[in-house]
Structure 1
Amino acid sequence: MKEKPHMWVMEAVFAIGMLLLLKKWVFPFLIWQWFGSGDSASNMLIGTHIAVAVVTVMVYVGLGSVSNQVYGLSLASVLAMDTLLHAVFFVPLLPWTATIRESWTGLLGDGVHLFLPDIRLSSLATWMVCTGLMTIGRVLRVRETEEVEKHHKRFQIAIDSLPANEENRFWSKRM
């Protein structure tokens, strides 16, 4: 398996960018259209913050898993690309990067702040948590259902092909 760092970076930018787009524009617009103003809109926004935080955790864990299982990247290359990818949020090259940094910090930070009001995640803390989630994701492997079924069928065939002596009859009846 060859390393494909550019493909992983494109996938990470797309996933994080879509989360930012959904949280900052799509969900508030839909809530504004459907609920108007008032308590119901406020409650929906709170629910949206929690849902986006949970999805953010899953996206970062998934990016870590994909980096290892699909693209075959080493941990050092993933950490280097992750640092370069998120450097946009820390280096104020352009005026709009501060807005993106606040939005990106809010992906995870708003959900945490709802449960722990005394904690406000900084950009650095958010980056460290996201990098930790990505590192945890590297040890996860998602298998297709067909692959799992093949494994079970092979195991079942192996049990059925055992000779029918007294000790093996017990196992074949339980399966």
Structure 2
Amino acid sequence: MKSYTRFWLECSLVLASLISLKTWVFPFFISIWFPTNDLASLMMEWTVIMTGIVTLFLYFSLGSVAKQVYRFRSNEASLVLAVLHLPLFFPLLGVFSDEWQRLLTDLFSLFSFNLLDWPGSQIWICWSAFLLGRKIKIMEKEKNVFSDKVKQEAEMN
């Protein structure tokens, strides 16, 4: 039960951080740094594109972490992800729920491919990216010499 809670907290923290960056932080700095409307509009488009791409990579990495770090089976990881996303469909969260749904839909709508026309498309894209991320395993190419020395010193003491 403890690992489910840790994974749920990790997922919710990362998603909440991404949503707050897209909604408040990036627009604030763009409005300060780019005073002309045309340039600010262009920067907001680029921000939407990059946020959508980062969202896809985020779900890939959450899937990988669920398998490699927490050792969840596919059904366990999918259940934790579903429990995490379930509150996003209640109107109580309002703006937060709308912004989560717009993480990927804004990206695709810029290219005239509207995901909002298909019911549940946001969920399927996130879940598919999450499951594809379970196939990813990140490994170091070279051994870290420093960490090996630290381990050896710890073993001697």
Normalised to the residue count of structure 1, the TM-score between the two structures is: 0.76
Normalised to the residue count of structure 2, the TM-score between the two structures is: 0.84
Runs of 4+ off more than 4 Å: none
Number of the residue aligned with 2:43: 44
Deviation of the 1:144 alpha carbon: 1.7
Which is greater in Rg? 1
Number of the residue aligned with 1:168: none
Once residues 32 and 106 of structure 1 are traced to their aligned partners in structure 2, the CA distance between those partners, rounded to angstroms, is 20
User: CA 1:23–1:44 in structure 2 vs 1: closer, same or farther (change >3 Å)?
Assistant: same
- Structure 2 unaligned spans of 5+: 145-157
Number of the residue aligned with 2:88: 89
Q: Kindly provide the CA deviation profile for residues 125-171 of structure 1, in whole angstroms up to 9, marking residues without a partner as x.
A: 111110110000001101123259xxxxxxxxxxxxxxxxxxxxxxx
Once residues 105 and 99 of structure 2 are traced to their aligned partners in structure 1, the CA distance between those partners, rounded to angstroms, is 9
Number of the residue aligned with 1:171: none
Q: Kindly provide the CA deviation profile for residues 39-91 of structure 1, in whole angstroms up to 9, marking residues without a partner as x.
A: 00000000000000000000000000000001101111111111111111113
Deviation of the 1:11 alpha carbon: 1.0
Q: Does 1:101 align with 2:97?
A: yes
Number of the residue aligned with 2:155: none
In the alignment, residue 22 of structure 1 is paired with which amino acid?
Answer: L
Deviation of the 1:120 alpha carbon: 3.4
Q: Kindly provide the CA deviation profile for residues 93-135 of structure 1, in whole angstroms up to 9, marking residues without a partner as x.
A: x2xx1211210011111111111x2413367211111011000
Q: Does 1:25 align with 2:20?
A: no
> Is contact 2:115-2:121 (8 Å) kept?
no
Deviation of the 1:10 alpha carbon: 1.1
> Is contact 1:3-1:72 (8 Å) kept?
no
> Is contact 1:105-1:123 (8 Å) kept?
no
For these two proteins, the number of residue pairs brought into alignment is: 144
The sequence identity of aligned pairs, in percent, is: 31
In the alignment, residue 124 of structure 2 is paired with which amino acid?
Answer: M
Once residues 106 and 82 of structure 1 are traced to their aligned partners in structure 2, the CA distance between those partners, rounded to angstroms, is 18
- Structure 1 unaligned spans of 5+: 149-175
RMSD of equivalent CA atoms: 2.0
In the alignment, residue 47 of structure 2 is paired with which amino acid?
Answer: T
Number of the residue aligned with 1:120: 115
